[in-house]
Structure 1
Amino acid sequence: MTEDAPITVLLVDDQPLLRMGFRLILEGEDDLHIVGEASDGAEAVKLVRNLTPDVVLMDVRMPVLDGIEATRAITAEGSPARIIILTTFDVDEYAFAGLQAGASAFLLKDVAPSELIQAVRVVASGDAVVAPRVTQRLLETYVRGAAAPAPAAQAPDPLLGDLTPRETEMLEAMAEGLSNAEIAHRYFLSEATVKTHVRRILTKLHLRDRVQAVVYAYETGLVVPSNPDY
């Protein structure tokens, strides 16, 4: 996607009426262009490969291949496409699985048209759509309940050693759910400096975006779930 080119979007849902609704909303914007539609995950994987969309709106429950596995396959192929998982509830096992699989965001299916349009634009720019504290609440809920070894028993990811002490602090703050402005306030930094740290963290850890950084912090045990009354 060049600066002047429209953002290309692939719609993936097994319900034609929903795809039609999303198309009508998005194609009303000059900077958004629907390049294709898929009715199942397997078709979505093929179309992403052939059409190279900037953004994929991905339903979860579909025949042949569900949206989670399709997301995993697309990210495993190294596609630069940003995937938005469409879910029914904000703290939802499918949303959590989607983030684990490599999605950049999740949205509720009944999202307002203006929010859908903004989400596509934000994700295409490389930023996160999910509000930081919503992401944290989602991870707190499902990481706490996962049957995984205790963080103390896990071998630390060697990539964490590539981070400077300041970058590690930034990653922990991101996982707490703090925005760039809140991190800047805590550490007496400018927002521009925080953004630079975030960019370096993503590069060093080979992560796609901020949401994936938060998932990484929990899954590696750098940050552990707080008490269940969070």
Structure 2
Amino acid sequence: MNVLIVDDDRLVSSSLKTILEADSTVHVSGIGNSGAEAVALYNELNPDILLMDIRMDGMTGIEATKILLGENSEAKILFLTTFSDDDYIVEALRIGAKGYILKQNFESIVPALKAVFSGQRVFGDAIVSKIPSLMKQKEQPNFSRFKLSERELSIIKQVANGKSNREIAQNLFLSEGTVRNYISTILEKLALRDRTQLAIFYYKQL
């Protein structure tokens, strides 16, 4: 697994390289120190994953990610930052980053990279705990143009609030199988890939 590290703190970058390459399955193919370098190095090295800070002078990690995902929607970008700021979390979700974890949780970095490499999305515990509150609506959004039924809207709201299929089934007095079928239908109807995208969809309508 080839990883590109981008962080404006050079000491952090070199420390991350040491931590990652202690695992034999990880190779750090390059190190950058700015958003602009992230874009240039990604295009040059074509890494499996870009591990990047968010707050950097000049071009931020968010801005670099928008450029890279605009050029390649399959790019795997994992944010690693000291900030659990709500706006950053929402923006990372919105633009399609594969994950958002905190630097403080250094022991989780390699497992997070492996999860992203295998196609999963990863959000550290401190981030996951915030997502439901960020998704809660302040007023009823207008979903009429999506031709969703009331039951489908109820299930979308439950997913956006972090509920499991079992919890949704209990809350709406349905079987888990019925909930799974509803979610599959909803994802197909909205042309979304997974529950995370469904939660982002709901939040964006607020």
- TM-score by length of structure 1 reads 0.70
Aligned counterparts of 1:202 and 1:56: Cα–Cα separation in 2: 27
Name stretches of at least 5 consecutive residues in structure 2 with no aligned partner.
none
Partner of 1:46: 40
Which letter does structure 2 place at the counterpart of 1:23? K
Aligned-residue sequence identity (percent) comes to 35
Q: How does 1:176-215 map to 2 (within 5 A)?
A: 176-180=161-165, 182-183=167-168, 187-189=174-176, 194=180, 205-207=190-192, 210-215=195-200
Aligned counterparts of 1:166 and 1:117: Cα–Cα separation in 2: 40
Q: Of 131, 149, 152, which residue of structure 2 is paired with 1:135?
A: 131
Partner of 1:119: 112
**C-alpha displacement at 1:89, in angstroms?**
3.8
Partner of 2:104: 110
Are the equivalent residues in 1 in contact too, given 2:5–2:13 (CA < 8 A)? Answer: yes
Which letter does structure 2 place at the counterpart of 1:36? G
Aligned: 1:90 with 2:75: no
Which letter does structure 1 place at the counterpart of 2:130? V
Q: How well do the aligned residues superpose, as a CA RMSD in angstroms?
A: 3.2
Name stretches of at least 5 consecutive residues in structure 1 with no aligned partner.
1-6, 145-149, 222-230
Are the equivalent residues in 1 in contact too, given 2:165–2:176 (CA < 8 A)? Answer: no
Partner of 1:67: 61
Distance 1:188 1:216, change over 3 A: same
Distance 1:205 1:18, change over 3 A: farther
**C-alpha displacement at 1:134, in angstroms?**
3.0
